[in-house]
Amino acid sequence: MVSSADSTARPPRPITFSGSLLDRAGNPRRNAEWLAEKRDLASSRFLPMRELKPLIDVSGKPARLAWQPVDFARRHASLPTIFLGLQGDIAHFAIDCDADETVATLHGETVKFIDVRSIAPMVAPEEAAILAQARSLIDWHQRHGFCAQCGSPTTLAEAGYSRRCSNANCRAQHFPRTDPVVIMLAVRRDETTGQEMVLLGRQPQFMPGMFSALAGFMEPGESIEEAVRREIAEETGVPCGAVRYIASQPWPFPSSLMIGCVADALDATITVDRAELEDARWFSRDEIALMLENSTNPEATPRMPPPLSLAHQIAKRWLAGA
């Protein structure tokens, strides 16, 4: 039997920016011949990106990625090209077009360069996941043109999954990094009412009425559990015990991995760190349910962030019994 809690635990779509259908082909893509052959096949597809914005076909609903044929790639062979993966036999690539102004002319009525955050909710989930991969990788290449060890120029290598130092005495290899961020709900049972309560905070730059899960970058030499407890304590003064992992989300702005958790709070007293937060409060289950329902209504106060966010998804899963 499926209970109502089970059915709400199953989201209608994967967490945004995950769920790509592409096989990244991590082993064959290291083979330069294999890669060159795929890059020149008539069946291969190429996604142009300008200023980290993908080309999107907006002529139908949902919007779709505006893949270009191999002729496009041949005309722009000098531009940085990243292998995204295979779907069946079809190879998919992203091309960083910033160095070629002529590509701007692709932008028109039916296809447009649109930023990833705006377009993600408008495309199929598996296409949003491809955008996360392409955006993070191209951004990393753009910002890592020089070797961190010796300062010499680096060049794109291994289908876009590393950069190699050009200095023959160095030859250091650099890899794209992913920055882990913990995002969490602290929960406790109110001693008087017996109600389960959830701790949310408000940053000064949030839209009016928005409260969200606390979050922060993990530090070197720290476990996920330790980072969760440290961030909650720093921002609200609330000590926590057990920490449970709920779900994660790639966040390509520029290349974070959001790690969603629930932590058991050991005390209800809140001391807000005003440098980080404007407010922090305990909300009941019923309030959280309403805040999720109101998440896409900009007039609603209080409300949680929209379904695109991991804060929304972990709150939804927690309500459903996770």
CB of residue 136 vs Zn ion: minimum separation in angstroms?
A: 23
The answer to whether 183 and 224 are in contact (CB under 8 A) is no
Which positions from 185 through 244 interact with Zn ion, judged by CB under 5 A?
Answer: none
Measured from the CB atom, is 34 or 146 closer to Zn ion? 146
Measured from the CB atom, is 99 or 148 closer to Zn ion? 148
Tokens of 173: 């290899």
Q: Select the residue interacting with Zn ion from 90, 150, 257, 322 (CB under 5 A).
A: 150
CB of residue 179 vs Zn ion: minimum separation in angstroms?
A: 23
Could you tell me which stretch among 23-31, 99-107, 144-152, 249-257 binds Zn ion (CB under 5 A)?
144-152
Size of the site for Zn ion (CB under 5 A): 8
Measured from the CB atom, is 148 or 242 closer to Zn ion? 148
Q: Residues 163-192 vs Zn ion: string with x where CB under 5 A?
A: --x-x--x-x--------------------
Contacts of residue 269, Cβ cutoff 8 Å, sequence gap at least 6: 237, 238
Residue 279, Cβ density class (10 Å: 0-12 exposed, 13-18 middle, ≥19 buried)? middle
Which positions from 94 through 123 interact with Zn ion, judged by CB under 5 A?
Answer: none
CB of residue 158 vs Zn ion: minimum separation in angstroms?
A: 17
Measured from the CB atom, is 175 or 217 closer to Zn ion? 175
CB of residue 148 vs Zn ion: minimum separation in angstroms?
A: 8
CB of residue 176 vs Zn ion: minimum separation in angstroms?
A: 17
CB of residue 254 vs Zn ion: minimum separation in angstroms?
A: 22
Measured from the CB atom, is 90 or 170 closer to Zn ion? 170
Interface with Zn ion (CB under 5 A): 147, 149-150, 152, 165, 167, 170, 172
